[in-house]
Amino acid sequence: MNSHEYITQVDRVSAHNYHPLPVVLERGEGAWVWDVEGVKYLDMLSAYSAVNQGHRHPRIIAALKAQADKLTLTSRAFHNDQMGPFLEDLCKSTGFERALPMNTGAEAVETAIKAARKWGYKVKGVPEGQAEIIVCDDNFHGRTTTIVGFSSDHGSRDGFGPFTPGFVAIPYGDTDALAAAITPNTVGFLVEPIQGEAGVVVPPEGFFAKAVEICKDNNVLLINDEIQTGLGRTGKLFCGDWDGSRGDIMIVGKALGGGVIAVSGILSNSEIMDMFTPGDHGSTFGGNPLGAAVGRAALDVILEEDLAGRSNELGNWFMDELRSIDSPHIDHVRGRGLMVGLVIKTDSGPARPFCEGLKDRGILAKETHEQVIRFAPPLVIEKETLEWALSHIAEVVQGAEVAVG
């Protein structure tokens, strides 16, 4: 089948819950992917930062294959010999005492919400059923009914209510609003250190550090969603490191699975993790030996190849280069490390046609929130490759071919 036939087939047999670029991929290596016609593209999305280590990193694939030949799934009804070593590595490299493995990001967010609520009742003394969690406008934490209930994005919410109570929203980056929103029943503040899906929104200088302080002063858990920003993406191992805190509960996912398999989890101290007792939370696949072996290798690659350092260096240089492009369509460039948003002026129309122009030149990037083109290539990308991409990006954002959609 050709690309057109694959796309038509999916339209026919699946739900229409995405609006993908019209490209059908069949192979990947490092920062590159190939479509079914054999056309080569640079992946500048990295599956929303789930492929920080690059496509099919040899060490991660080796771990996957070796484990696939031994044992893949036990459920948590039994122990397996992979989960402990994986979580020990994860705790050691993050500085937390405990880790609880899940699969998708949304499941880990749900796990964090449950841990924070129970901590609120058992430790903080919040009256049963009254726990409140503060979230931010324009947040993205996943797609479950509870999570979309506290989204401010109409597309994510409409038609899916009734929603779970107990969430209060404040403007992102506003520490006065955070302080004002806290009540004796507040158990947690759930926040992304940079809002990815909102369009790579970097908070004002000092926001996160101040939020940490406010939470501490009020006995509120800072729940840091590093699913997209973590594991090297923003130029530090975790984005919270820019402000000296990883939170009381840190949520990880995406790149923890090395671009291979869904591996997520939460990290915390023992007091918080001990809120969970046998029977009150779980996941059939969480902590499975295949995912654990892959997650361990995925983490190893990030650390040993210093992908955070690489992201910082290349990201700073890449953003400077983007800012030096002389184009009537660019509003501004923002981001940290290789998590970059190029904001198209509203007068120039939406970002989508620019992404289509990039696709025609062999660069896969995806618009987020109408006006923003997100650039988040695998962190293993070579500088020369980014140079090549920059020349095409410059032409596309300057070019008449896509001007005003």
Ligand X SMILES: *Cc1c(COP(=O)(O)O)cnc(C)c1O
Q: Which of residues 173-192 bind ligand X (CB under 6 A)?
A: 192
Angle between helices 289-304 and 58-68 (to 10 degrees): 160
Out of 98, 117, 118, 141, the only residue in the binding site for ligand X (CB under 6 A) is 141
Name the residue nearer to ligand X (CB basis): 44 or 402: 44
Residue 147 CB, shortest distance to ligand X, in Å, is 8
Backbone angles phi, psi at 33, to 5 degrees: -135, 155
Q: With CB under 6 A as the contact rule, which of the stretches 135-143, 148-156, 294-302, 342-350 interacts with ligand X?
A: 135-143
For residues 292 and 314, give the distance between their C-alpha atoms in angstroms, rounded to a whole number. 30
Q: Is residue 140 at the binding interface for ligand X, with CB under 6 A as the rule?
A: yes
The yes or no reply on residue 150 touching ligand X (CB under 6 A) is: no
Cα(72)–Cα(55) distance, rounded to whole angstroms?
21
Q: Find the residue with minimal CB distance to ligand X.
A: 105
Q: How far is the CB of 292 from ligand X (least distance, A)?
A: 17
Query: Pattern of binders to ligand X over 207-236, x per CB under 6 A?
Result: ------------------x-xx--------
Question: In angstroms, rounded to a whole number, what is the distance separating the alpha carbons of residues 57 and 4?
Answer: 29
Residue 253 or 378 having the CB closest to ligand X? 253
Contact track, ligand X, 48-87, x by CB under 6 A: x---------------------------------------
> Residue 36 CB, nearest distance to ligand X (Å)?
25
Residue 183, CA distances (Å) to 132, 188, 220, 394 in order? 8, 11, 10, 49
Cα gap 272→323, rounded to integer Å:
44
Q: How far is the CB of 98 from ligand X (least distance, A)?
A: 20
Site string for ligand X, 338-377 (x = CB under 6 A): ----------------------------------------
The residues assigned a catalytic role are: 140, 225, 254
**142 makes contact with ligand X (CB under 6 A):** yes
